[in-house]
Amino acid sequence: MAKNKTRAQQRVPNKSEKSANTEPNTAQPANDFGERAGFFRRLAAMVYDVLVAVAVGMCAAMVMIVTLIVMLKNGGLDMQGFAEPADLIQASTGYKLLIQSWVGLWVAGFFLWFWKRGGQTLGMRAWRLRIFSTVEEPVTMTRLITRLVGSLFGLGTLLVLFDVKEKQSLQDRLAKTEVLKLSKEANDHKSW
């Protein structure tokens, strides 16, 4: 029965008890976090994260485009009859796909790295949200990738609007995670 309870519903351990598991995305004392986060709080964190992810994507695209231009100008790659590298990049489906894949990997890496390192992205930190496991296992990279894919570019969070009782998004259900609101003390990075 205790396995089916969320972290927020489990008993509060006393101060002398310590968790043997030091993974960042596992149980903490229940008084440090509250209930599962609602839709609008998650949405606010998502807006913040989208702005950061766009900046990450723009920087990644710039690095790849500059690299391609330098390689094309210096003869490292064939210009294929085009006078300017920009014209070739615009005309080439392969170069566009390369740039888009590169940007996608960096944006996905942004979310995965922050989720794995502390259970929260920058937007989640600003809104005092954090990912926790709903099962007695650490949150692995495989589960985080499942969570990322299951989010469907944020559309998976719409499920929270219809699941008023459990407040579980599609990505949380698939990855067996939950997003909880933290107290100010628990949101301090020193408490991780």
Sorted by sequence, the CB contacts under 8 Å of residue 49 that are 6+ apart come out as: 111, 121, 122, 123, 124
* Beta strands per DSSP E along the chain: 33-36, 129-133, 177-182
Are 7 and 128 within 8 A, CB to CB? no
pLDDT 10s digits, 51-76:
999 999 999 999 999 999 999 999 99
Are 36 and 7 within 8 A, CB to CB? no
Which carries the bigger pLDDT value, residue 45 or residue 32? Answer: 45
Q: Average pLDDT of 115-140?
A: 96
Return the pLDDT at 2: 42
Lowest mean per-residue pLDDT among 31-35, 86-90, 91-95, 127-131:
31-35
Across all residues in the chain, what is the average pLDDT? 86
Sorted by sequence, the CB contacts under 8 Å of residue 166 that are 6+ apart come out as: 36
Residue 171 has pLDDT above 80, yes or no: yes
Q: Tokens 């990644």: give the residue.
A: 60
- CA distance linking residue 66 with residue 98, whole number of Å: 13
Q: pLDDT band for position 191 (50/70/90)?
A: low
Q: pLDDT band for position 33 (50/70/90)?
A: confident
Sorted by sequence, the CB contacts under 8 Å of residue 7 that are 6+ apart come out as: 27, 28, 30, 33, 132, 133, 134, 178, 180
Q: Average pLDDT of 90-105?
A: 97
What is this structure's pTM? 0.81
Q: pLDDT band for position 123 (50/70/90)?
A: very high
Return the pLDDT at 34: 84
Q: pLDDT band for position 149 (50/70/90)?
A: very high
Q: Average pLDDT of 117-128?
A: 96
CB neighbour class for 101 (10 Å; exposed up to 12, middle 13-18, buried from 19): exposed
- CA distance linking residue 108 with residue 141, whole number of Å: 12
pLDDT 10s digits, 8-17:
444 333 333 3
CA angle (183 as vertex; 121, 2 as ends), nearest 5 = 90
